[in-house]
Amino acid sequence: MESTEQVILAHGSGGSMMRELIDQYFLAVYGSPELQTGDDSACLPLPAGADQLAFTTDSFVVTPRFFPGGDIGRLAVCGTVNDLATSGATPHWLSLSFILEEGLPLDELAAICRSIDETAREADVRIVTGDTKVVPRGSGDGIYINTAGIAVFGPGQMRRSGRGCQPGDQILLSGALGDHGLAIASSRAELHFQTVLTSDVAPLNQLVAALLAAAPNTRALRDPTRGGLAATINELAEQSQTTMLIEESTVPVHDAVRGAAEMLGYDIFQVANEGKMVAIVPAAEVTAALAALRGHPLGREAAIIGTVHPAGQPGQPRAVVRTALGARRILDTLVGEQLPRIC
């Protein structure tokens, strides 16, 4: 008889074993009132004064499933919350669907569900609906998670978009680059450094709220995940039809992360982050914005890292780095795969 200490195909059959899996591992751990109803969809009352929603979806396939600083469950909640928060809205609700591979240890699933619950509480969001599928052994990689999230624009909240960036604006980064990508790379390759590399994965919605309270005219917000800071700056410059100049000497990077990146041949500007934020802020509000970021636990290492300039001539680069020696180089976006499966 096959052990039920692992996920088996019967857990996805729609029968009693699937019901037990849902009750024991999902509802008992992070079951919100909406999820507890057992209906096929969640009915969600809009907060008073809400007149617009933000909606996003994402999937998480990270390897390894557990890494220093987090796991795939924490990553799934944070990634979706952060995509919503950087729109300028307040995240409220998530859906969470699992694709489980036959043979996944149930104690690992339990640990991931506990992490999901802890992270959702930290971010002050509720998981209100979900789904579970089981695929045969060899058809997956243990566990994949798909999420969708809904946020609300309340009174006084407005959408933040890269189209709003203007020449003279300042570019802020909420903390050190590369922690998540290098933590994943070192865990996957079982590399051991003198200092343990730890992922920065964290929900940013409260940090965003603190920033916007101090700098209400913030133009744009973005979390530099896949493709890192390079992809984010290029996207913002393209959206706003501006040129963005990054001062390399002001970009915070932990020494251990910088050393690991150099050893592995990674460009730190292209390494993924899961708990950092780029903000484009008018010059008149940058002092208040920086103080607000540094006053929050997730923004203590925040720095002004660059400036928005008018667009150059056609064919000229839109994203440029000024090195510590004063030379300029193009801030290239990643071509191909540098760090596969980082989220």
Domain ranges of the chain: 9-153, 162-330
**Sheet harboring 90-101: ordered strands across?**
52-60, 143-153, 90-101, 126-135
Q: Which of 76, 82, 57 is nearest to 223 (CA)?
A: 82
User: What is the reported pTM?
Assistant: 0.93
- Asked if 89 and 157 count as a contact pair (C-beta separation under 8 A), the reply is yes
User: Does domain 162-330 sit in CATH 3.40.50.1580?
Assistant: no
Tens of pLDDT along the chain (343 residues)?
344 589 998 998 888 988 998 889 998 999 888 888 888 889 988 888 788 999 999 999 999 999 999 999 999 999 999 999 999 999 999 999 999 999 999 999 999 999 999 999 999 999 999 999 999 999 989 999 999 999 999 888 899 999 999 999 999 999 999 999 999 988 887 777 777 899 999 999 999 999 999 999 999 999 999 899 999 999 999 999 999 999 999 999 999 999 999 988 899 999 999 999 999 999 999 999 999 999 999 999 999 999 999 998 776 779 999 998 999 999 988 776 655 567 8
- What does DSSP assign to residue 297? G
The Cα-based distances of 264 to 181, 182, 239, 261, 279 in angstroms read 12, 9, 32, 5, 29
**CATH class of the domain whose range is 9-153:** alpha beta
